Structure 1
Amino acid sequence: MRAMHHDNNLAKERLVQGGALALLLLMGGFVIAGPSGVLAWGENQRLLEQRHEKLAELEGQRDRLKNRVALLDSSKVDPDLAGELLRSNLNVARPDEMVMLIKR
């Protein structure tokens, strides 16, 4: 009877150790190949660089738009910009002007 009890304890201990080992191996797998693991680090760095480039592009675009808005201030409208907008949006031209469309 005592040998059978000892075998049950040994089996439970091995089961617990096996479960702990499986859990540790799973955690190690996530450290290496998980979404924020060692293998994903290079991909994350590349995405970060792409987003910094896109951010710089958008900041430049924002600065150009800020300048254009400042030129359209109602108290001091830039006459060249106002003429450009009238011609492009309303197709307004004087009889002595020639319009040349440039594709961008």
Structure 2
Amino acid sequence: MWTRQHKNRKLGRFVLPLVTVAFLSYFGYHSIHGDRGLIAAQEFEKLRFRRGAELAELVSHRKSLERQVEFLSDGSLERDMIDEKARYQLNVSRPDEIVIFNNKMN
């Protein structure tokens, strides 16, 4: 009967722990710094809050514009509103008028 004798290698004991450490290090790093990691999630939340504030501002601006459209299209056109819009868009005034521009109008 033929037997093969193995040398006891000290490095053989470290192969599985080294592979495990490498595996955990790789996935641990990417769970924090990866495209979908913790840091990316924080940046996404910051972006979401900024976009939410921007959305609220745009919604209020839209409501303001809708209110102005109601004044113009409810069947009884108000002369003051039409006059005000025309003067603002054309940038004209009469010689006896004082013009104060308000930047909130578009």
Does the aligned pair in 1 maintain the 2:87–2:93 contact within 8 Å?
A: yes
For residues 50-71 of structure 1, the C-alpha deviation after alignment (integer angstroms, 9 at most, x for no partner) is 1111110011111111111222
Matching residue of 1:7: none
Q: Which amino acid aligns with 1:31?
A: S
Matching residue of 2:40: 40
For residues 30-82 of structure 1, the C-alpha deviation after alignment (integer angstroms, 9 at most, x for no partner) is 11111221233332222221111111001111111111122221722222210
Aligned alpha-carbon RMSD (Å) = 3.4
Identity of aligned residues (%): 29
Offset of residue 87 of structure 1? 1.9
Three-state SS of the structure 1 residue aligned to 2:73 is coil
Distance 1:36 1:94, change over 3 A: same
Which of the pair is proportionally richer in helix? 1
Structure 2 segments unaligned to the other structure (5+ residues): 7-11
User: If the length of structure 1 is used for normalisation, what is the TM-score?
Assistant: 0.63
Three-state SS of the structure 2 residue aligned to 1:49 is helix
Matching residue of 1:25: 25
User: If the length of structure 2 is used for normalisation, what is the TM-score?
Assistant: 0.62
The CA distance in 2 between the partners of 1:83 and 1:54, in whole Å, is: 31
Offset of residue 18 of structure 1? 6.3
Structure 1 segments unaligned to the other structure (5+ residues): 5-9
Three-state SS of the structure 2 residue aligned to 1:35 is coil
